[in-house]
Structure 1
Amino acid sequence: MTKLTVGPWIAAQKLPSRDVARDRHAFLERVRVREESQNVAGFPLVGLGGSCGKPCFQLPYVLTWTDQNTHGLEQVAERFGCYVEYGVYPHLKLHENDQEVAAVQDWTTFAMVYLRPGYERAQELLVDLAETLRPA
């Protein structure tokens, strides 16, 4: 089981206190870490979720949801003790406490996976999702 290795990269960008929320120079200093590209298991980190702050990884293909791949997604979820919640896009949530551990977005240019950085099996889940959802 492997947590994500990008925790320090994410933490370096977070607002340390409300006192510097309007400080442009402090912001510029924090975001310098973005100059260093990050990846996990070969998948590039493309940013953070705007509302959730979860790191987002790009999959190397375009994803279009079908009955077949949503069934595969549900099988992945079960392997990780999760269920799938279908909203605007699918979220994987733990059965034990409903905590969201992943979300998968489909766009016309590429697919993305958002992962909870503290989830013990995050890297393993990323790899499994990428393999399972890969178009035939």
Structure 2
Amino acid sequence: MSKLTVGPWIAAQKLPSRDVARDRHAFLARVRTREETQSVAGFPLVGLGGSCGKPCFALPYLLTWTDQNTQQLEELAERYGCYVEYGVYPHLKLHENDQEVGAVQDWTTFAMVYLRPGYERAEELLVDLADTLKPA
């Protein structure tokens, strides 16, 4: 699999320069991009991370963290050359440079996965996370 295909869609919405930060019309032009529904591997893109700007995908189930599924998450992370950092929710970070490539959030009405769009295995990771964390 590959990087996420939504990179250009996300880039089109970002502030191109501080010169237009107060330009309402420029903002309205950028957000028109959101009228196009996006998904990756069948998972709907529901937004972007507020602080990180990573695309966020909805999983089709609720998620409650347990000892078993956090162990499974750690095993999955190792297969991707990552470790799990547990903050408010788990983040997957590369061993080689501590770069965050993904995070899984469970404290809303549905589970969500945030992914770095430029990560070479992002789509594959999304599918594997969904399969691994799916409740029995």
Shorter-chain-normalised TM-score: which range?
A: over 0.9
Q: 8 Å contact 1:93–1:100 — kept in the other structure? A: yes
Task: Provide the rounded CA distance (Å) in 1 between the counterparts of 2:47 and 2:12.
Answer: 13
SS in 2 for 1:30: helix
User: Equivalent pairs: percent with the same residue?
Assistant: 88
Task: Provide the rounded CA distance (Å) in 1 between the counterparts of 2:84 and 2:108.
Answer: 22
Unaligned runs of 5+ in 2: none
Q: Segments of 4+ in structure 1 off by > 6 A?
A: none
Q: 8 Å contact 1:62–1:107 — kept in the other structure? A: no
Task: Provide the rounded CA distance (Å) in 2 between the counterparts of 1:12 and 1:108.
Answer: 27
TM-score (structure 1 length as normaliser): 0.98
- Note if 1:28 corresponds to 2:16: no
Unaligned runs of 5+ in 1: none
2:135 is matched by which residue type in structure 1? P
Task: Provide the rounded CA distance (Å) in 2 between the counterparts of 1:108 and 1:69.
Answer: 18
Q: 8 Å contact 1:94–1:101 — kept in the other structure? A: yes
| Equivalent runs, 1:1-136 vs 2, <5 Å | 1-136=1-136
TM-score (structure 2 length as normaliser): 0.98
Task: Provide the rounded CA distance (Å) in 2 between the counterparts of 1:37 and 1:79.
Answer: 31
- How far is 1:108 from its partner? 4.4
